[in-house]
Amino acid sequence: MSLFKSTAIVSVFTLISRISGFIRDMVVAAFFGTGIWASAFFVVFQIPNFMRRLFAEGSFSLAFVPVLNEIKATESKSNLKLFIDKIAGTLFIVVFIVWLLMEIFAPQVLTLFAYTWVSEKPEIFSEAVWMLRFTLFYLPLISLVAFAGGILNAHKKFALPAATPILLNVSLIASAYFLNDKFDIPIKSLAIGVLIAGFLQLIVQIPPLIRLGLLPKFKFGFKDSKVRKVMKLMVPTLFASSVAQINLILDTLIATMLPIVGVSFLYYSNRLLEFPLGVFAIAISTVILPTLSRQFAKNKSDEFTKTLKWALNLGLFIAIPAAVGLIVLAQEVVVTLFQRGAFTIESSEMTAISLMAYMLALPAFIINKILLPAFYSRKDTKTPVRIGIIAMFSNMGFNFIFVALLWYLDFVALHVGLALASAVSGWMQTVMLYRGLFRLKIIPSGVIQWSVVFKIITSSSLMAVSIMLLLSQLGNWQDLTWVWRTINLMVAIALGVCVYLASLYLMKVNFRKLLVHH
């Protein structure tokens, strides 16, 4: 299976997942809006996600997949199965202990994310702890889901792992509709929905593992050399994964302290940021990590470079127009998707501003997702950690600088400062990762085709102008019905895509060379 086809498969299922995620967010926005109870749930939901990115999709996957592929490429299936059994037992024990401790100390854990609520909003803090105890069950379940997904991806079974998040979205939608009136505080229903989703996501992974003959038997493996190798690789990747999550804690903590609590606005704008990240960047990253790992294991340096070059140029081909488009259409997108029920005009305006700030660094976030596998596939985890720590402390500093600057300028939407800080530190991390690969001679100077990038920027600018001209003819978006908002938004997006692709075609960009990995 070609890398482009594999990426397309992951992208399609991720696209379906993201669409279901938008429907979920639309339902949640309509039912619960952006008030303090919505902010409380979003703070709570970030905590199991924080741990998931550390233990599941973050450090564990980045350490597990290269070793798994090395064993798959060089050893027998029986050795591969034994390795999987021992990793499964080891992972479960570690995650179970972490989960149990977090359940016991749930109030203290929540304090890290919402310190001021302990004294200033004790009722909200107490109910948030109740929700946290339920959502924490998601951690051991989703860790096993990510473990199963790593095995399936290594065997080029990309569809199911990419589609699994759909079950979370369906579960939250169903909970909002059918359970919200069962609680004195309706948003508690979403905490139950998260728990149900974890079980569903794990169950669907079992049949394909059985068909592969790789359903794990949980064995103790702390003394196994291969398991210890994964654990050794995990230590620095834990720090690397922790960087973004520590930034998230700080962002959330500051957002809960603002005069207008910015947690909900940042959540919805971040969800829109994650759409291109999930559909394209994570899809490319997911596909190239096992490929780069195999190429490095077999000492195929030329193929390694070609794979990375293809991924970087494809990422820029997607990232730049997506960023420009979402900046131009920020208000229209937010109003169309979310503004109904408890989600007000003010909610739309606040969310749209932070979305535009995030979009300034969308290309950086996407390129980061592509550059990191180049390090991890070579089992180099120290370099990303060092760079990540620098980016983390920079982000912390920028948080205070931008929020203070906006406060000094009497700008109401102070949460935008947090988004701007993420954007600046994101670009810093991208530059440092790229320079690190170049200094290590992993990538040559021509790995990014800058002449093509210039054409992409030019075409994206023409796209932006065409969309703005169209918007000027469509009247006030607030006066339109939801149906007409949707139709007009689809027309604007279609126009933008057509202008972008036509402009590239006229500038004689070779689409086949850009898209297809040879």
Q: What is the pLDDT of residues 379-401, one digit of tens each?
A: 777 788 788 888 888 988 999 89
| Euclidean distance between the first and the last CA atom of the chain, given in angstroms as a whole number | 11
SS3 223: coil
Taking Cα atoms as reference points, which of 147, 84, 442 lies closest to residue 295? 442
| pTM of this structure | 0.73
* Average pLDDT of the residues in 417-432: 91
Least confident of 7-11, 277-281, 349-353: 7-11
Q: Which long-range contacts (CB under 8 A, 24 or more apart) does 106-114 make?
A: 106/132, 106/133, 106/136, 109/47, 110/43, 110/44, 110/47, 112/249, 112/253, 113/43, 113/46, 113/47, 113/249, 113/252, 113/253, 113/256, 114/40, 114/43, 114/252, 114/253, 114/256
For position 511, what pLDDT does the model report? 78
Instruction: Tell me how far apart the alpha carbons of residues 472 and 475 are, in angstroms, rounded to a whole number.
Output: 6
pLDDT surpassing 80 at residue 502: yes
For position 170, what pLDDT does the model report? 93
Give the DSSP letter of residue 219: -
Amino acid in the structure at residue 423: A
Produce one character per residue of 132-146: b if its CB has 16 or more CB atoms within 10 Å, e if not.
Answer: bbbbbbbbbbbbbbb
What secondary structure, in 3-state letters, does 285-305 show?
A: HHHHHHHHHHHHHCCCHHHHH
pLDDT surpassing 90 at residue 494: yes
Instruction: Tell me how far apart the alpha carbons of residues 50 and 249 are, in angstroms, rounded to a whole number.
Output: 9
Q: Which residue has the higher pLDDT, 69 or 314?
A: 314
Instruction: Tell me how far apart the alpha carbons of residues 296 and 302 are, in angstroms, rounded to a whole number.
Output: 10
Whether the CB-CB separation of 403 and 414 falls below 8 Å is answered with yes
Give the DSSP letter of residue 446: T
Taking Cα atoms as reference points, which of 371, 379, 358 lies closest to residue 430? 371
For 145, 212, 271, 498, the CA distances from 152, given in Å and listed in that order, are 11, 9, 26, 36
Whether the CB-CB separation of 279 and 11 falls below 8 Å is answered with yes
Instruction: Tell me how far apart the alpha carbons of residues 196 and 138 are, in angstroms, rounded to a whole number.
Output: 9
Instruction: Tell me how far apart the alpha carbons of residues 152 and 208 are, in angstroms, rounded to a whole number.
Output: 8
* Average pLDDT of the residues in 442-454: 80
User: Which residues in 42-98 belong to E strands, given as ranges?
Assistant: none
Please compute, for residue 490, the number of CA atoms within 13 A of its CA located in the half-sphere on the CB side.
Answer: 6
* Average pLDDT of the residues in 4-27: 76
- The tokens describing 338, both together, are 């979310």
Taking Cα atoms as reference points, which of 234, 255, 497 lies closest to residue 385? 234
Interior angle at CA 9, CA 336 and CA 237, nearest 5 = 90
pLDDT surpassing 70 at residue 242: no
Give the DSSP letter of residue 331: H
CA dihedral over 485, 488, 490, 496, signed as positive or negative: negative
210-239 confidence digits (pLDDT tens): 988 888 888 887 777 888 887 777 776 666
Whether the CB-CB separation of 54 and 203 falls below 8 Å is answered with no
pLDDT surpassing 60 at residue 484: yes
- The tokens describing 498, both together, are 């057509």
C-beta neighbour count of 112 within 10 angstroms: 13
Instruction: Tell me how far apart the alpha carbons of residues 29 and 348 are, in angstroms, rounded to a whole number.
Output: 11
C-beta neighbour count of 36 within 10 angstroms: 14
Instruction: Tell me how far apart the alpha carbons of residues 18 and 181 are, in angstroms, rounded to a whole number.
Output: 27
Percent of the chain with pLDDT over 90: 23
